Amino acid sequence: MESVTTPAITELRKTPLNAVHRRLGAKMVNFGGWDMPVEYPASGGLVAEHKAVRSGVGVFDVSHMGDIRIHAERTPGGALAAVQYLSMNDASKLAIGQAHYSAMLYPEGTFVDDVIVHRLGEDDYLLVINAGTREKDINWVRENTRSFDCAVEDLSDAYTQLAIQGPRAIDLLHKLTDANLDLIKNYWFTHGTVCGLKNTLIARTGYTGEDGFEIYVSSDAATSEMVWNKVMEAGREFGIIPCGLGARNTLRLESKMALYGHEISDRINVWEAGLDRYCKMDKGDFIGRAGLEQAKAAGLTRALVGLEMVDRGIARDEYCCCNESGEVIGVVTSGSPSPTLGKNIALAYVPPAMTGLGTPIYVQIRTQKCKAQVVATPFYKRPKKTAAPQAAANV
Amino acid sequence: MAYPSNFRYTKEHEWVEVKGDVAAIGITDYAQHELGDVVFVELPKVGEKVVAGKTFGTVESVKAVSDIYSPASGEVIEINDVLHNTPEKINTDPHGAGWLIKVRLANSAELNGLMDTAAYEAYIASQSKEASA
């Protein structure tokens, strides 16, 4: 059978916790030029990690992601103006301590990258971006903010970022911080002392569809390992296990969260991706706005839908989608078994006429066309907890 | 897990157990560990022909699809269809209950180039070393 893992190459980038992952016997993979853990077989592997996040808590090293700070230089308001120009969502609606999902677009209205924008201060923003697009994004930001009065800092290497995700994440983190986590609503953040480290960014964000927090600590190996070990220790009573990119993918897929290069890319626009609600066309001009107007006027030729396999078979990334006549009419962007649902699910681009719930779509799986049907998304929604206050994540 | 001494092994991590002119074929413990939890198996039908060096089916984990290559040519006389509903047998007992197909060999000489236990163990040791470099 073909090899499923990539041997480590010295040119691959490593996060500060690389040695920890290898010590834990993680299966490593090349993800966007980074040597990252895909799963940890010793503690159960992908399915166990996925289930731990849905039922208890898991921890991910996501330090490969990037961080760009945009803050005012001389004129107050320079940073906001720059962010508003770069980002499609309305950053003027963010309170200090609030974050939202957004994207940076090309003039055509297609994606440079998706991003979480955090308002750190009066005129001070942190953009958290994808690992694989770090260099492209920082260049894009620098190029496009030249005429704005703001300073742009690439802080990507400054942080080790841990995502602590699951219904027990808050209980775990309570043991490690003095910050009042109950006051941090979904998509809000604070700074507090975590594991004795002052002024640590604690954000109630994540990429799993569960409650959880992402913490940003100093990227030196000693600090990073100390925090990782304390998180693992604090999580022991909640059944914590380390989680890799494999589970990260199945979790975000079930929650219908986009992955750059799959559901969003430089060839896909906001309307096709179904991310309208994060795009504030009326807020003023931004890169991509004109392109999106044109695209809207021209009409949609494809749209993103959720699929559930009906026939036996697993739809996977890049498999073709066909209609009943066997003609290729679309493509799977992400597909996998769903550990929570026990079904095989996928996201796919299909013609707008075929987006109705229950529409049969045939996925080409090697030599066979296997029947799937369009289903509602997200495939999974976490149960509502009466305790956790839900602020509007759709700012 | 031990690699049975009466089996022969391929570079693609399949094992073969020959009894007369019938060969049982499966994937090795090394292969199942690389793959992770098996969730889906696609096997040929009884009566189909398999060809040495060509794929005859797939074994899938959540993360990956792995084509399975036949070490020899012949006709499929039996398939392990419990794997339909319990694919995890490939993880728990890859050399036994996790067998995939049985083939009536067209030319048993095709198996001459395969590795024995010692050679296979040395082979996977060298693979693991590369992987952790």
pLDDT, average across residues A220-238? 98
| CB spacing of B67 vs A2 below 8 angstroms | yes
Instruction: Inform me whether the pLDDT recorded for A321 exceeds 60.
Output: yes
pLDDT confidence bin for A75, thresholds 50/70/90: confident
Residue in A2, A39, A314 closest to B36 by CB:
A39
Which chain A residues are Cβ-neighbours of B35 within 8 angstroms?
A: 1, 4
Q: How many percent of chain A have pLDDT more than 90? A: 93
Report the complex ipTM.
0.90
Give the minimum alpha-carbon distance from A378 to chain B in angstroms, rounded to a whole number. Answer: 19
The tokens for B132 are: 């952790």
| CB spacing of B61 vs A46 below 8 angstroms | yes
Enumerate residues 6+ apart whose C-beta is below 8 A from B3. Answer: B9, B15, B28, B29, B95, B117, B120, B121
Q: How many percent of chain B have pLDDT more than 90? A: 92
How confident is the model over A157-170, as pLDDT tens digits? 999 999 999 999 99
Q: Would you list which residues of chain A are within 8 Å, Cβ to Cβ, of chain B?
A: 1-5, 7-8, 22, 27-28, 38-39, 41, 45-47, 246, 249-250, 312-314, 316, 336-337, 339, 366
pLDDT at A384: 84
Alpha carbon distance A241, A239 (integer Å): 7
Which chain B residues are Cβ-neighbours of A250 within 8 angstroms?
A: 62
Handedness of CA A131, A135, A140, A146 (dihedral sign): positive
Give the minimum alpha-carbon distance from A133 to chain B in angstroms, rounded to a whole number. Answer: 23
How confident is the model over A175-227, as pLDDT tens digits? 999 999 999 999 999 999 999 999 999 999 999 999 999 999 999 999 999 99
pLDDT confidence bin for A276, thresholds 50/70/90: very high
Q: Give the start-to-end residue ranges of the domains of chain A.
A: 18-64+158-254
Alpha carbon distance A246, A43 (integer Å): 14
pLDDT confidence bin for B132, thresholds 50/70/90: low
Q: How many CB pairs under 8 A join A and B?
A: 69
The tokens for A233 are: 């220790």
Instruction: Inform me whether the pLDDT recorded for A2 exceeds 50.
Output: no
How confident is the model over A87-133, as pLDDT tens digits? 999 999 999 999 999 999 999 999 999 999 999 999 999 999 999 99
Give the minimum alpha-carbon distance from A233 to chain B in angstroms, rounded to a whole number. Answer: 26
Handedness of CA A227, A228, A230, A235 (dihedral sign): positive
| CB spacing of A7 vs B37 below 8 angstroms | no
pLDDT, average across residues B55-82? 96
Which chain B residues are Cβ-neighbours of A3 within 8 angstroms?
A: 34
Residue in A1, A8, A316 closest to B66 by CB:
A1
pLDDT at A124: 98
Residue in B61, B66, B133 closest to A2 by CB:
B66
**Which residues 26-85 of chain B have a CB within 8 Å of chain A?**
27, 31, 33-37, 39-40, 42, 58-69
How confident is the model over A30-59, as pLDDT tens digits? 999 999 999 999 999 999 999 999 999 999
Which chain A residues are Cβ-neighbours of B65 within 8 angstroms?
A: 314, 316
| CB spacing of B132 vs A2 below 8 angstroms | no
Alpha carbon distance A80, A28 (integer Å): 39
User: What 8-state DSSP symbol labels residue A383?
Assistant: P
pLDDT at B1: 82
- Torsion angles phi and psi, residue B8, rounded to 5: -120, 155
pLDDT at B61: 96
| Contact in structure between B22 and B7 (CB atoms under 8 Å) | no
Alpha carbon distance A135, A137 (integer Å): 5
pTM of the model: 0.93
Which chain B residues are Cβ-neighbours of A22 within 8 angstroms?
A: 132
Tally of CA atoms within 13 A in the half-sphere of A97 that contains its CB: 9
pLDDT, average across residues A240-269? 98
Which chain B residues are Cβ-neighbours of A7 within 8 angstroms?
A: 130-133
| CB spacing of A7 vs B68 below 8 angstroms | no
* Residue B99 amino acid letter: W
pLDDT, average across residues A317-324? 97
The domains located in chain B, with CATH, are: 8-131 (2.40.50.100)
Q: In chain A, whose CA is at the least distance from the CA of B54?
A: A1
Q: In chain B, whose CA is at the least distance from the CA of A345?
A: B62
pLDDT confidence bin for A267, thresholds 50/70/90: very high
pLDDT at A391: 54
Q: Which of B15, B63, B70 to mutate to test the interface with A (most CBs of A within 10 A)?
A: B63
* Residue in B101, B96, B108, B41 with CA at minimum distance from that of residue B76: B101
pLDDT at A299: 97
Give the minimum alpha-carbon distance from B130 to chain A in angstroms, rounded to a whole number. Answer: 6
Assess B1–A contact: CB distance below 8 Å, yes or no: no
* Residue in A251, A343, A265 with CA at minimum distance from that of residue A304: A265
Q: In chain B, whose CA is at the least distance from the CA of A19?
A: B132
- Select the CATH number that applies to the domain covering A18-64+158-254 from these four: 3.30.1360.120, 3.30.479.30, 3.40.50.300, 3.40.190.10: 3.30.1360.120
Which chain A residues are Cβ-neighbours of B45 within 8 angstroms?
A: none
Instruction: Inform me whether the pLDDT recorded for A3 exceeds 60.
Output: no
pLDDT at A394: 52
pLDDT, average across residues B71-100? 97
Q: What region does B58 belong to: left with phi over 0, alpha with psi -120 to 50, or beta?
A: beta
Helix (H) or strand (E) holding A23: helix A18-23
